[in-house]
Amino acid sequence: MTLMPVLGLVAGNGDLPLLVARGAKALGHRVVTAALMGETGAELKAASDVHEEVALGDLGGIHSVFKRGGATQVVMVGGFSKQRLFSRVRPDLDALMLVARLGR
């Protein structure tokens, strides 16, 4: 018996996150969703085995959702409001350290 990978889904807005979750489930994968707060549709929760909302920029929170859910592969799908990016983003220390490394 081969175990299917558990798909970690960083989900933004639009139809794509729901389509990816449903497709993964149809192939036999468990789906662990880190839903960007205020961006994802309610129907995505029903298509996920684990579904938790996280703030945009909270990389530590996203990592925790996937670790608790046992995700072995991760994909980011969907968009997010640019207005939200500049007005409500709450980067955690992990996100700030990543940005600092990118600048080098």
- What the block records as the tokens of 22 is 């449903």
User: Which residue from 16, 17, 15, 41 is spatially nearest to 31, judged by alpha carbons?
Assistant: 17
Assign domain 7-102 to its CATH architecture.
3-Layer(aba) Sandwich (3.40)
- Predicted confidence at residue 15, as pLDDT, reads 95
- Predicted confidence at residue 59, as pLDDT, reads 86
Strands of 31-36's sheet in order across: 50-54, 31-36, 7-11, 73-77
For 29-75, write each residue's pLDDT tens digit: 999 999 998 889 899 999 999 999 998 878 889 999 999 999 999 99
Note if the pTM is more than 0.85.
Answer: no
40 with 12: CB under 8 angstroms? yes
Is residue 100 predicted with pLDDT exceeding 80? no
Is residue 24 predicted with pLDDT exceeding 60? yes
Highest mean pLDDT among 24-28, 37-41, 90-94: 24-28
Averaged pLDDT score across all residues of the chain: 85
Task: Indicate the domain borders of the chain.
Answer: 7-102
